[in-house]
């Protein structure tokens, strides 16, 4: 157990090696060369080792697999206890932009997932990394507990793994319907997809738009709608929750921000994780 955690920390702290697997937050997109997309880079990215999840809710992560060219590999995801979550895996497809290659469209794949480089029919010169989107659905009746989750990659006769301890909270999210919304450009920072739902909650506004194709941006938006529906369900029992969440987002003046919403540029791409953490903690204390 200890040796596994040490291996993970070394992977997070050092450069990407010939064969590695990493798990990152939904706000840290990975390019085909194993680097965080420039727009999403933050000084202190969150280490995804023991994430908290709500029940009746989704939790999402990027998986980055770095391998040599023409080295077939398999991706496995397993939990202990088994079958606690409903796990969906999607391959992230890259789009070439003026800002570089960015993963966006999602293609469902079956677990275990088989892959190799170069990716055909659209090979990317120099690509050494394949990225996936891992979606965990946590049923409402899941017991509050800690669940060991491992992402494993088999390359040849060897294995590379990334162990996590997922903390299932007492928080239970309300059922939601995915809303139609106009999503930001793929070149925008990953957190841009949460601004619509966050503004809806804080400023009592309403998003409009149309149905978008399945993509990283769309699921980030869905997750924000889910989390803020939970925050809305807590209102009246959690003091001035809006003020607390604005503080977590780094907004000082609610009225001014609602009149002229500005990106949380100084807060880093993962600022919404602090909003989520605060919401889940409040819900776990207040919900029966």
Supply the CATH number for residue 61's domain: 2.60.40.10
Q: Are residues 157 and 196 in the same domain?
A: no
What would the 3-class secondary structure string for the chain be?
CHHHHHHHHHHHHCCCCCCEEEEEECCCCECCCCCECHHHCCCCCCCCCCCEEEECEEEEEEEEEECCCCCCEEEEEEEECCCCCEEEEEEEEEEEECCEEEEEEEEEECCCEEECCCCCCCCCCCCCEEEEEEEEEECCCCCCCEEEEEEEEEECCEEEEEEEEEEEEEEECCCCCCCCCCCCCCCCCHHHHHHHHHHHHHHCCCCCCCCCCCEHHHHHHHHHHHHHHHHHHHCCCCCCHHHHHHHHHCCCCHHHHHHCCCCCHHHCCCHHHHHHHHHHHHHHHHCC
181: in domain: no
Q: What is the pLDDT of residue 59?
A: 98
Average pLDDT of span 272-285: 94
Q: Are residues 108 and 222 in the same domain?
A: no
Percentage, residues of the chain above pLDDT 90: 70
C-alpha separations of 26 from 136, 220, 276 in Å: 12, 7, 12
Q: How confident is the model at residue 239 (pLDDT cuts 50, 70, 90)?
A: low
278: in domain: yes
Percentage, residues of the chain above pLDDT 70: 93
Q: How confident is the model at residue 252 (pLDDT cuts 50, 70, 90)?
A: confident
Q: What is the pLDDT of residue 8?
A: 43
47: in domain: yes
Residue-wise pLDDT tens digits, 150-174: 999 999 888 999 999 999 999 999 9
Q: What is the pTM of this model?
A: 0.90
Domain count, the chain: 2
Cross-strand partners of 150? 78, 163
Q: What is the pLDDT of residue 107?
A: 96
182: in domain: no
Lowest-confidence range among 2-6, 152-156, 173-177, 268-272?
2-6
247: in domain: yes
179: in domain: no
Residue-wise pLDDT tens digits, 114-146: 999 988 778 999 999 999 999 999 999 999 999
104: in domain: yes
Q: Are residues 103 and 245 in the same domain?
A: no
Q: Are residues 46 and 11 in the same domain?
A: yes
Average pLDDT of span 264-276: 91
Q: Are residues 27 and 117 in the same domain?
A: yes
Q: What is the pLDDT of residue 192?
A: 94
Q: Are residues 8 and 132 in the same domain?
A: yes
Q: Are residues 40 and 143 in the same domain?
A: yes
Residue-range definition of the domain harbouring residue 233: 190-286
Q: How confident is the model at residue 28 (pLDDT cuts 50, 70, 90)?
A: very high
Which residue is it, tokens 């994430």?
Answer: 51
Last residue of a domain, one of 123, 143, 172: 172
Q: Are residues 89 and 143 in the same domain?
A: yes
Last residue of a domain, one of 172, 198, 232: 172
Which residue is it, tokens 């010939």?
Answer: 18
Q: What is the pLDDT of residue 156?
A: 86
| Mean pLDDT across the chain | 89
Q: What is the pLDDT of residue 238?
A: 62
Q: Are residues 228 and 267 in the same domain?
A: yes
Average pLDDT of span 38-45: 94
Q: Are residues 60 and 199 in the same domain?
A: no
Average pLDDT of span 11-34: 79
Last residue of a domain, one of 125, 146, 172: 172
């Amino acid at each position: 157990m200890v040796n596994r955690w040490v291996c993970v920390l070394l992977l997070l702290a050092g450069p990407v090696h010939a064969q590695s697997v990493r798990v990152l937050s939904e706000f840290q997109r990975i390019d085909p060369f194993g680097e965080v997309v420039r727009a999403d880079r933050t000084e202190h990215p969150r280490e995804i080792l023991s994430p908290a999840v709500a029940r009746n809710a989704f939790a999402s992560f990027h998986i980055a697999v770095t391998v040599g060219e023409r080295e077939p590999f398999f991706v496995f995801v397993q939990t202990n206890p088994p079958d606690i979550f409903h796990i969906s895996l999607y391959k992230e497809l890259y789009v070439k932009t003026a800002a570089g290659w960015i993963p966006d469209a999602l293609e469902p794949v079956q677990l275990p997932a088989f892959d190799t480089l170069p990716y055909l029919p659209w090979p990317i010169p120099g690509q050494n990394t394949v990225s996936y989107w891992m979606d965990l659905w946590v049923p409402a009746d899941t017991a509050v507990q800690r669940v060991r989750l491992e992402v494993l990659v088999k390359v040849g006769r060897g294995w590379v793994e990334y162990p996590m301890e997922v903390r299932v909270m007492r928080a239970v999210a309300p059922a939601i319907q995915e809303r139609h919304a106009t999503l930001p450009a793929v070149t925008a920072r990953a957190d841009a997809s949460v601004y619509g739902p966050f503004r809806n909650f804080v400023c009592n506004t309403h998003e409009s738009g149309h149905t978008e194709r399945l993509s990283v941006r769309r699921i980030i938006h869905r997750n924000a709608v889910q989390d803020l529906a939970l925050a809305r369900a807590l209102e009246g029992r959690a003091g001035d929750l809006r003020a607390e969440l604005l503080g977590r987002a780094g907004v000082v003046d609610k009225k001014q921000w609602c009149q002229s919403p500005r990106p949380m540029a100084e807060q880093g791409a993962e600022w919404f994780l602090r909003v989520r953490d605060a919401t889940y903690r409040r819900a776990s204390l207040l919900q029966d």
